[in-house]
Amino acid sequence: LELQVRRNSRLATIGQIAAGTAHEIRNPLTAIKGFLQVIRHKLKDSGQGKECGYIDIMLKEIGRISNLVGEILLLSKPRQTDLRAVNVIKVLREILPIIKNEALLHNIDVSFEKSVSALPVVIADGEMLKQVFLNLSKNAIEAMKRGGKLSIRLATMAEERQLRVEIIDSGPGIPEEVQEKIFEPFFTTKENGTGLGLPICRQILMELGGTIEPDSNESGTTMRFYLPLA
């Protein structure tokens, strides 16, 4: 037990250092980004297209760093979690427009289906739950490069007193050798990925007493998670 306590406090310290570092990186990045945009503007006005291209690359790379830093902050920051009874349908309805909008840009149809025999209420922090929905939908959308269908299904499993949520895409699926790594922090197959979306989802769901598992084949991926009903 003592070992466990020591390990946990060391992890907490590492988390604090990560959050602190991420924060300290973010501020100077904002300044660098701002001035690069000014320089880019000036170069464009004076017709220096090649140099503009360099600045574009710098801005893109800065975008990557700032995504990464944002996700490290999410993962490591000791959050003030606001646990209360929340209706998952309500939470989902609040972010569905964001998901639909992003899907529309990528030629993806979104459907939301529910089959609930009990009130889909769980004890959770609504903001954290939104994070899970957004991360999983984002992955689904990113997987469907040539458009497709995204279904979000919600069902209450009355007997097991569980809520089941499925985020289903018609993308190419996750190759078997990749599947075992997708929850590892920083594992990504994307050029601009951070590899932190799924570890964040899993951590949040674990904190709420839930579980998550992928179910994938060549005709698509279902990310399925369960939460205990309140």
Chain positions contacting ligand ADP, by CB under 6 A: 135, 139-140, 143, 169, 171, 174, 178, 182, 187-190, 193-198, 221
Per DSSP bridges, beta strands 148-157 and 108-115 are parallel
Q: Is 197 one of the binding residues for Mg ion (CB under 5 A)? A: yes
Min separation Cβ 38 and ligand ADP, Å: 30
Rank residues 19 and 141 by Cβ distance to ligand ADP and give the closer one.
141
Rank residues 24 and 180 by Cβ distance to ligand ADP and give the closer one.
180
Candidates 216, 138, 111, 214; CA nearest to 172 is: 216
The two tokens of residue 7 are 């390990």
The two tokens of residue 88 are 């998952």
Rank residues 135 and 156 by Cβ distance to ligand ADP and give the closer one.
135
Min separation Cβ 124 and ligand ADP, Å: 20
Looking at residues 121 to 140 of the shown chain, list those that interact with Mg ion (rule: CB under 5 A).
139
Rank residues 126 and 195 by Cβ distance to ligand ADP and give the closer one.
195
Query: How many CB atoms are located within 10 Å of the residue 114 CB?
Result: 14
Min separation Cβ 176 and ligand ADP, Å: 12
| Residue recorded with tokens 């991926």 | 221
Stretch that binds Mg ion, among 16-24, 34-42, 101-109, 189-197 (CB under 5 A): 189-197
d(CA 144, CA 106): 8
Task: Return the axis-axis angle of helices 126-143 and 197-207, rounded to nearest 10°.
Answer: 150
Min separation Cβ 95 and Mg ion, Å: 15
d(CA 24, CA 95): 30
Query: How many CB atoms are located within 10 Å of the residue 118 CB?
Result: 12
Sign of CA dihedral 138, 141, 144, 150: positive
What x/- string results for residues 138 through 157 when contact with Mg ion is judged by CB under 5 A? -x------------------
Q: Which residues does residue 123 pair with via DSSP β-bridges, in sequence order?
A: 85
Rank residues 52 and 62 by Cβ distance to ligand ADP and give the closer one.
62
Min separation Cβ 224 and Mg ion, Å: 16
Pair 205, 225: CB distance under 8 Å:
yes
Min separation Cβ 201 and Mg ion, Å: 9
Rank residues 38 and 178 by Cβ distance to ligand ADP and give the closer one.
178
Q: Which residues bind Mg ion (CB under 5 A)?
A: 139, 197
